Amino acid sequence: MSYVNAPIHDLLIRIKNAYMARKTNLSDITFSKFKCNILELLKRYNFIKNFEIVEKNNKKSLKVSLKEVENPINDIPEIKFFSKPSRPRYVSYKDIKTVAWGKWIGIISTNQWLMAAHEAKQKKLGWELIAEIY
């Protein structure tokens, strides 16, 4: 297993690449609570079907079930990263864009944990803008 400098970027890019390769499962993702919360957010907004925590030899990993790709234009997500490990991007709730017809979500890390951008805007919370998924 290799060292990954940006594990959240790695997770989101793996999901996008699996969709592009028309795979339905993605496994052996290193476990972290932060990744689980991002996957929970993606599941809630129908970017993935489901995920589960697999324990093997006292090591936890994640297994992600993806949706079937029927229309490549609409079903394969586009990802735009804002924060990097070396340079986080902080935003105020006033600077958060609104959701465009539910087609994308912004992932924001707030003091109340991870949430979608439109939820953070409603609660008037801002902090670190991690990524937008279209």
Angle at 132 between CA 129 and CA 134, to 5 degrees: 170
Domain limits, CATH 3.30.1370.30, in the chain: 1-76
- pTM, entire model: 0.86
What's the confidence (pLDDT) of residue 93?
84
Q: What is the mean pLDDT of residues 37-47?
A: 91
CATH architecture of 78-134: 2-Layer Sandwich (3.30)
Q: Determine the pLDDT at residue 1.
A: 44
Per-residue 3-state assignment (H helix, E strand, C coil) for 74-93? HHCCCEEECCECCECCECCH
Residue 49 has pLDDT above 50, yes or no: yes
pLDDT at 101: 58
Q: How is domain 1-76 classified at the CATH fold level?
A: Ribosomal Protein S8; Chain: A, domain 1 (3.30.1370)
**pLDDT (tens digit per residue) in 53-94:** 999 999 999 999 998 888 877 777 888 888 888 888 888 888
Give yes or no for a contact between 11 and 48, defined as CB atoms under 8 angstroms apart.
no
Residues 84-124: tens digit of each pLDDT: 888 888 888 888 876 555 568 888 988 888 888 888 888 99
Report the pLDDT value the prediction gives residue 39, as an integer from 0 to 100.
Answer: 94
Which residue, 62, 67, 77, is CA-closest to 23?
67
Answer yes or no: are the C-beta atoms of 7 and 35 closer than 8 Å: yes
pLDDT single digits (tens) 6-18: 888 999 999 999 9
The answer on pLDDT for 3 being more than 60 is no
Q: Where in the chain is the domain with CATH 3.30.1490.10?
A: 78-134
